[in-house]
Structure 1
Amino acid sequence: MTARERGRAGLSGGAEFGLLGRKLGHSWSRQIHERLGSAPYDLVELEPDEVAPLVRDGAWRGLNVTIPYKRDAAMLADVRSAAVERLGAANTLVRAEDGSVVAENTDVLGFTWMLARFCRERLGGSPRELLDGREAVVLGTGGAAQAVAYALEEHAGARVSLISRTGDDTYTTLAQRHAGAVLLVNATPVGMYPACPATPVDEGCLVSLRALLGVLDIVYNPRRTGLVLLAERLGIPAESGLAMLVAQALYASELFQGRELDDALVPKIEAAITAQTQSVALIGMPGAGKTSCGRRLARLLGRPFVDIDEAVRTETGRSAAEIIERDGEDSFRRVETELTGRYAARSGLVIACGGGVVTREENRDLLRQNATIVFLDRPTSELSSEGRPVSQRRGIEELARERLPLYRAWADVTVECTGSAAGDAEKIAGLLGAL
């Protein structure tokens, strides 16, 4: 099949709607549009020379467009909105009745929706009240950054500074040149799954922005990006981009379907996607029953189960006990952290962590990227040290004194164990459903 033929083939299974991009394995757009009514919805991965045939000649009613094809979408359209004309980028294409291609940029509307809620619920005011005439820094200069800048200027009156990795005004000069900024927005893909929890700026940079009111990151996977985690550690209100993703999809779906949709769908779908994709990470003392409970919980929730100790055995060919006895505990902890990061970056899992995962602070943010952390609190009198070299060497009581405060500090949910793996799993599932 030639590039033109593949481009024209485009959408599969009779789908009328879809997302056009180059790499879409991380996308949640299909789930969102199914809830909005713009379905069936296809994910269409094409190479650059296949884009024009799909846009111009493909059989579709509505297309969302993501990186790196937003500028192509704008150029290939017959009709462009004012926002698309100004930005030179489109994330939404609609096939009109006469066959012409109409381009819109609902990223602007999606970010505006997220910004308004963030300012109202987290900062205590409207975007105009908080940002009018004040500086907002946007990281990135691509199509998404341009859309964010447009929204900040048009809907909040902010003075926007676009910062890139190269040129005279870069991330390295951010703190010196923009110390008065009140909002920081990441509009780059830095920190997106699977390259997470990377962050475009470091702690020192955020600390130096003393007027900063909040941080937004348009990356939506992982649920908490490296930048959001960093801001939260510093006590700065922060949010990642799931709300923007859902809101822009809602406005795109309105164009696809030719009807208005209720804005109240945005938080409902956001909550549904979070519930579907949020992992569950079980922590607790060695012997607390994390593995047996985790297996039961995974079956209840219909999710894959990962036991980090078993993952260590698969990766290294040795058990945790064998690594600790031969190479020392530090060697094991390094492997444990690597595998914790690998699985914690994924969505929709049940993860049983090793008892000592809390001894490395870096593991906390790895887990918090995408997981609700559940502490299985079992009385120390019910714990056994058999087959556990650290417990045998140091004693269960000493480990408990060291680790129990950490388990409680890390946990989003604490569950007092019932003595039954099935009972514990059912209790956790009930608590998660109530969150």
Structure 2
Amino acid sequence: MTTTNAQESEIRLAAAGDGKTKGNRTPVRYGLLGRTLGHSWSPQIHQRLGSAPYELVELEPNELADYVREGHWEGLNVTIPYKRDVMPLCDELSAAAQRLGAVNTLIRTEDGRVRGDNTDLYGFAWLLRRFCERHMGGLEAIAGRTCLVLGSGGASRAVVGALENAGAKPVVISRTGEDDYASITERHAGAVLVVNATPVGMYPSCPASPVDEATLAALPLLRGVLDAVYNPERTGICLAAEHLGLPSESGLAMLVGQAWRSSELWQGTDLPLELVESIERELRTLTRNVILIGMPGSGKTSCGHCLAELTGRTAIDLDQAFAERFGAGAGEVIEREGEEAFRRMETKVLADYGKRSGLILSCGGGVVTRPENLDLMRQNGTVVMLDRPIDQLSSKGRPLSRARGVKALAEERMPLYRSWADVIVGCTGSARGDAEEIRRLLGL
């Protein structure tokens, strides 16, 4: 079912403990300090920025003070839940850190002092400016206008600061108080931008959103949605915005932008700003899934394995993953429990793999019959249709193709395949040829 995937394990850091430093004694040069660091792309980003080696440092609260004050490190990023806890441990704080009441970057100065800074402000400001220029005509589109910031934690403070610097009127939405989630449409119908600064929708609890599509639809002046969460690529709130025809973007550019500024502070040098978009593009290409759809018998599994060999990724045949998970194949489940039960179970398997990164997923032919499956694919993937002529399709070993006939299935499904696909590849006659064409089209 799988092939060796060095890229996936490197980028996702999915294995527990992979690349992590426990305790408060191991020296590191640069790193990310937090409590539970299940995944992070920061090591790969800082490798490109020159601030490496960069490690993940997991600490319990009782270890924090000793590590910050006495640990052997040169520069650290700080994430949940320690962005405020490290502030009293610093000898000095930048103006940004003082203003926001949170620190995400620690610098060990030449005389051994600990300086706290906040580069999240820079990272979100970079994302905000680019988004407004691309989709709203520039930052003037939010000047003097209401922008809703969902959440009141450390990320929220950076978002609010960047919006204030841009001349916007940020309103923080939290679970309590007058400006709570229930009051959004009643009190803030004039909002032009919504920003998610909560962890809701972050991998692996995705796709999820702090507000539903109906809430966004009820904001008549809304022109865009941003999310500080960077994994998955399309978070739940971004997918909801897409359904409404609104531009949206998650937080990968913010992540790279804040890392770029942190690296400058640690290395004491100016770095090319072009690195931000360059690294962002590389990460998107490496972490985005390739999801193969098409008629039963179109060659998705064979193509997926060939593409895995060409790219060094992992290929997953979702029909085989289904059988391994439930102990029975599609035909047996359909015969025993019916097609509807099979489709619900198939969606569970897709939901599990669709939220991961850097995979090649070969889907069953009927995956397009459940509309909810599209968001499960698009949250972190590019959907590729293999378009093979009907007269070249076989129904052997395919219960629904035999029962209904290939032509009847094609009439039902072909419009769905075409509407779901980001890329359509006409089959070349060989799985290797199809894989090479996909690799070329997607720049893998």
Report what 1:84 is aligned to: 97
Report what 2:253 is aligned to: 243
Aligned letter for 2:342? F
Report what 2:414 is aligned to: 404
Cα distance in structure 2, aligned partners of 1:164 and 1:428: 44
SS at match of 1:64: strand
Report what 2:207 is aligned to: 197
Cα distance in structure 2, aligned partners of 1:60 and 1:185: 34
Report what 1:120 is aligned to: 133
Q: Cα distance, 1:6 vs. partner?
A: 6.1
Structure 1 pair 371–133 and aligned structure 2 pair: CA distance change class (3 A): same
Q: Cα distance, 1:383 vs. partner?
A: 0.5
Report what 2:119 is aligned to: 106
Q: Cα distance, 1:10 vs. partner?
A: 4.3
Identity percentage over the alignment? 61
Report what 2:9 is aligned to: none
SS at match of 1:83: helix
Report what 2:219 is aligned to: 209
Q: After the TM superposition, which residues 10-409 of structure 1 pair with which residues of structure 2 at under 5 Å, given as runs?
A: 10-11=26-27, 15-125=28-138, 127=139, 129-154=140-165, 156-409=166-419
What CA deviation, in whole Å up to 9, does each residue of 1:71-109 have, x standing for no partner?
Answer: 012221111011111221100000001100011100000
Cα distance in structure 2, aligned partners of 1:105 and 1:7: 24
SS at match of 2:443: helix
* Greater RCO (Cα-Cα under 8 Å, separation 6 or more): 2
Residue pair 1:7, 1:51 contacting (<8 A) in 2 also: no
Matched, 1:422 2:443: no
Cα distance in structure 1, aligned partners of 2:198 and 2:270: 30
CA RMSD of aligned residues (A): 1.2
Residue pair 2:173, 2:180 contacting (<8 A) in 1 also: yes
Q: Cα distance, 1:190 vs. partner?
A: 0.2
What CA deviation, in whole Å up to 9, does each residue of 1:108-151 have, x standing for no partner?
Answer: 000000000000112222x2x11111111100000110111011
Number of positions where the alignment pairs a residue of Structure 1 with one of Structure 2: 424
Q: Cα distance, 1:336 vs. partner?
A: 0.5
Cα distance in structure 1, aligned partners of 2:264 and 2:363: 43
Cα distance in structure 1, aligned partners of 2:358 and 2:66: 36
Cα distance in structure 1, aligned partners of 2:288 and 2:46: 19
Residue pair 1:137, 1:184 contacting (<8 A) in 2 also: yes
Aligned letter for 1:243? A
After TM superposition, the structure 1 stretch with the greater mean CA deviation from structure 2, 164-173 or 290-299, is 164-173
When normalised by structure 1's length, the TM-score is 0.96
Q: Cα distance, 1:25 vs. partner?
A: 2.1
Report what 1:9 is aligned to: 25
Residue pair 1:84, 1:90 contacting (<8 A) in 2 also: yes
